[in-house]
Amino acid sequence: MDYSDLVDVYEKLEKTTKRLEKTHILAEFLKTVRTDSLPYVVLLLQGNVYPAVEEKKIGVAAKLVLKAIASASGIPHDKVEHHWAKSGDLGETAAELMGKKKQSTLFKTDITVKKVMENLRKLATLEGEGTVSRKVDLISELLTSATSKEAKFIVRTMLEELRVGVADGTLRDAIVWAYFGKEIGFTYNQKENDFDVKDRIKYNEYSDAVQRAYDMVSDFSEVIVAAKEKGLLGLAKSSLKVGAPIKVMLYPKAEDFKEAFEALGKPAQCEFKFDGFRIQAHKKDGKITLFTRRLENVTKQFPDVVKFVEEFVKAKEFIIDSEAVGYDSKTKKYVAFQIISQRIKRKYDIEEIAKKFPVELDVFDVVEYEGENCMNKPFRERRKILEKMVPKEVPFKLKLAEAIVTSSEKEAEEFYQKSLQAGNEGVMVKSLDAPYQPGRRVGGGVKIKPVMETLDVVIVGAEKGEGKRAGWLSSFIIACRDEDSDELVEIGRVSTGFKEKSEEGTSFDDMTKLLDSLIVDKKGKIVKVRPKIIIEVAYEEIQKSPEYSSGYALRFPRLVRLREDRGPDDASTLREVDVLYSKQRGRHK
């Protein structure tokens, strides 16, 4: 498939913020794509080069792309950089300058989707002496043969800043519309931006089948081939693969135990909610692999956890869901996530930092056990399996999450206070009948915390500081996720809560270094960054505001902590902000 065909779709998607219209555009396009091109196409539609479950990253920063644009266009580097600063979009800069390029190749061919993918993937394999030069050559090769429009999206893909709004839900629905539309009597009304189906039950069946398959493999490039080639049967054959991470089950917040029991029924299980980070532990053929909720492989960073799982989990094959919780080795008290978060990214001196920041693994769910998928088993059965898997609990190494089963609000409140006194965030309340369903707000449980709900927001930009903060980025533009448009929408700026020195906590210098390689656009003192970094923020109030694209602004936001265990998909949603706004101080919209 020619890359230009994909670029045409990018442009259509870029012109609309309407989720249903995006879904229709995708569905019509997917119908035309040959099976052998589908895996590449689906990844590129999401702005990815590799599936999320793979560890490989192309690792291209804006400075490297600047060199490649200069090389491919024949325009001096300083002029390319000046144009970038003026346009504020490196993709647009590439499009305009490649359109005016002073040099051209003797033999110019149309770029294919496969060629784009091959060159981009080669970037991830290069290392050693001369790596920068070879990466520039690979990028230049693509840009030299590209049209202006193609150059724009090649650059944006490399920088992981595609910005066409194709999220998981949109792609899932597009697959259903494309391959099962005839069977369900599907029609789309473009004028009204609405759709209808004659067989709603069958529509839900197909939608659930696509979602279940994706929950199993976390890779739409695999799911879409199964849907097109084998239909429902192919989707049903998508199965858990021990050693390949899945998306974890997440829970919304409840105000109190009365609300929790009303939502989940009685009795329910209350268990400690830890201030740690999520760990999926997989074991097969004697090999143990650890993944974060972002599907990152952190096995090497946690040799102590691997040892605990090997020693204390009695099964040959499994996937368990758990929380790694830090504790003070002297006082034996749990410590805040921020203290142990640096272990996630650590590549060196691992044994030393494991001793300095020890963790306990608290296991609370099982997804696969001895070759059997446990996701559809009710929680009460999954808990019994866990009790069999972990017959001996060893505090400060590995144990089951402390829990009680109760119908009493009073007893639940007492357990809640016990959890807080132990240094935890609060409690989880779980339905005993619920299956394991990956994703947010799936109805199987809620969390109860003692403070006004903080927000997990994405840093999408920043402003350079002045005075004593000169040389640092010091004001950070933050955004939440709009589920309807599948886009990030700004909700304010945060500049407080950061420290002047790294030893005191997350500093301006830390954030500047963290964001430097993520800068994709800059205009004056403002830089735009890839939406990769999540921070947790507290605030005094949520206000209505036309200044930000979310329609809201956080009043006096302040950094609580850097969330290295979370990604953009984990960001708080606009709907959640809307609910919090309506609840605060008893005020309603």
CA atoms within 13 A on the CB side of 339: 17
How does DSSP classify residue 462? E
Alpha-carbon span 124 to 135, nearest angstrom: 9
The two three-digit tokens of residue 323, written as one number: 């929380």
DSSP state at residue 245: -
Q: How far apart are the first and last CA of the chain?
A: 50
Closest to 302 measured CA to CA, from 364, 356, 359, 363: 359
Per-position DSSP letters for 524-578, written without gaps between them: TTEEEE-TT-EEEEE-SEEEE-SSSTTSEEEES-EEEEE-TT--GGGSPBHHHHH
Single out the residue of 572, 585, 563, 543 nearest to residue 454, CA to CA. 572
Q: Which residue intervals of 329-470 are DSSP H helices?
A: 337-340, 342-345, 350-356, 379-389, 409-421
- C-beta separation of 199 from 54 below 8 A: no
Q: Which of 135, 228, 273, 430 is catalytic?
A: 273
Q: Identify whether the C-beta of residue 458 lies closer than 8 Å to the C-beta of residue 399.
A: no
Query: What are the distances in angstroms from CA 125 to CA 114, 121, 128, 244, 558?
Result: 17, 7, 10, 21, 40
Do residues 457 and 573 make contact, with C-beta atoms less than 8 angstroms apart?
no
Alpha carbons 289 and 372: distance in angstroms, whole number: 18
Question: Cβ(418)–Cβ(382) under 8 Å?
Answer: no
Task: Establish whether 273 is a catalytic residue.
Answer: yes
d(CA 195, CA 181) in angstroms, rounded, equals 11
Please state, in angstroms and rounded to a whole number, the distance separating the CA atoms of residues 522 and 159.
14
DSSP 301: T
Could you give the residue numbers annotated as active site? 273
